[in-house]
Amino acid sequence: MSRRSTLRGFAALASLMLDAVLPGAATAAPRVPPPLPFVSQLDLSCYRTEGYKPPPTAVTLKHLNPVLAELPIETVKLGERQQLCVPVAKNGVIPPPGILDYVRWVDLSCYRIEGRAANFPLTLSQLNPVVQRLGIQDAHVTMLSPEQLCVPVAKNGVLPPPEILSVVRHIDLACYALRVLGIPGRPFPLTLGHLNPVLADRPKVDVKVGNARQLCVPVAKGGDKIPPEVLRTVQWLDLAKYDVTTGPSVVGPVTLKLTHLNPVLAHLPGEEVVLTEPAQLGLPVAKNGKIPPRD
């Protein structure tokens, strides 16, 4: 790691510690990208990571997206880690400057949870321009029971710059099983390339995108004080997770060390994870025609 990266990492860590000791000490509002430009460019490639269970931890979850505001607050327990989801570009289309600066740092570690079934009917519409151009039809689904909680982490101790950290550390997604109504769409091909600096040297991977299995929706964890300017964007972050298949593997495994970024989970120990091939792809969607604001 370069001296500049090291200093930047220490600065970000200092910001986290300052917030923990003196809430509100960092008074400067972060520069947050608008909802639609940010959400529509966030695609996450999700890798299986079974084999690790964090210390007993209960978290209280509150829905943030306006479409799901009527769903109750719920307390869940973190189970075994099941996935690590990392930001990717599709078909070589890189998010624009200013948006890339943020999405490249959204790494989410996903843990098994259980809770009450929502049984919430929804229509999902694709938001990413690459997928829209493929002509993917809207999907009519029912949101069932929660299966995972995906929370922000850093890889190998490489932290985002402070103003970006102040946004991405508040991205928490609760992932619900889906019942897809009607005939599932046909699989479609995509080429995925890593955006996060830690994985930037990994080769691109060709995948075929299959059926939607989960809908991941934004939540706030009890005790997490999300600044209003951050909440305005992250409340629109909905990802539908689709199964993907890959061709013969040409990519060797990579071992990473994970550190929790959200203040509520900062007490949890670091974790080690080994990535092989992606199992799912999270694509940004709108629910029931409610498109995130453009500015």
Q: What is the pLDDT of residue 28?
A: 47
Encode pLDDT of 75-110 as tens digits.
999 999 999 999 999 999 999 999 999 999 999 999
- Please determine, for residue 167, whether its predicted confidence score (pLDDT) is greater than 80: yes
Q: How many Å apart are CA 167 and CA 293, to the nearest integer? A: 17
**Does a structural domain hold residue 292?**
no
| Between 165 and 247, the higher pLDDT residue | 165
Identify the residue with better confidence: 47 or 3: 47
The average confidence (pLDDT) of the chain is 89
For residue 3, is pLDDT > 50? no
Confirm whether 295 is domain-assigned.
Answer: no
Give pLDDT, residue 248: 67
Whether 21 is in a domain gets the answer yes
**Does residue 263 contact residue 20 with C-beta atoms inside 8 Å?**
yes
| Residue at 25 is within a domain | yes
Say which residue, 20 or 255, is predicted with more confidence. Answer: 255
Which among 76, 83, 145, 141 is positioned nearest to 110, based on CA atoms?
83
Percent of the chain with pLDDT over 70: 88
Residue 20 belongs to a domain: yes
293 domain residue, yes or no: no
Tens of pLDDT, residues 127-139? 999 999 998 889 9
As a whole number of angstroms, the distance between CA 90 and CA 88 comes to: 7
User: What domain range is 38 assigned to?
Assistant: 3-287
**Domain contains 192:** yes
CB atoms within 10 A of CB 13: 16
Task: Please give the backbone phi and psi of residue 265, each rounded to the nearest 5 degrees, phi first.
Answer: -110, 10
In degrees, rounded to 5, the angle at the alpha carbon of residue 156 between the alpha carbons of residues 7 and 106 is 90
> Any idea what DSSP says for residue 8?
H
Count of the separate structural domains present in the chain: 1
pLDDT at 251: 65
Give the Cα separation of 218 and 76 in Å (integer): 15
What mean pLDDT is predicted for residues 179-196? 87
% of the chain at pLDDT higher than 90: 79
CA pair distance 9, 17, nearest whole angstrom: 12
Q: Mean pLDDT throughout 9-27?
A: 40
Per residue in 56-65, pLDDT (tens digit) is 999 999 999 9
Nearest by Cα to 236 from 282, 168, 283, 284 = 284
Contact 17, 242 (CB under 8 A): no
pLDDT of 6 strictly over 60: no
Closest of 130, 99, 104, 87 to residue 36, by C-alpha: 99
Compute the CA torsion angle 86, 279, 236, 156 (nearest 10 deg). -20
Tokens 């932290």, residue located: 159
At 182, list the tokens. 């009607």
User: Is residue 42 domain-resident?
Assistant: yes
pLDDT higher at 8 or 40:
40
5: which 2 tokens?
Answer: 């990266």
More confident residue, 283 or 246: 283
Q: Helical H runs in 100-247?
A: 100-103, 129-132, 162-168, 228-234
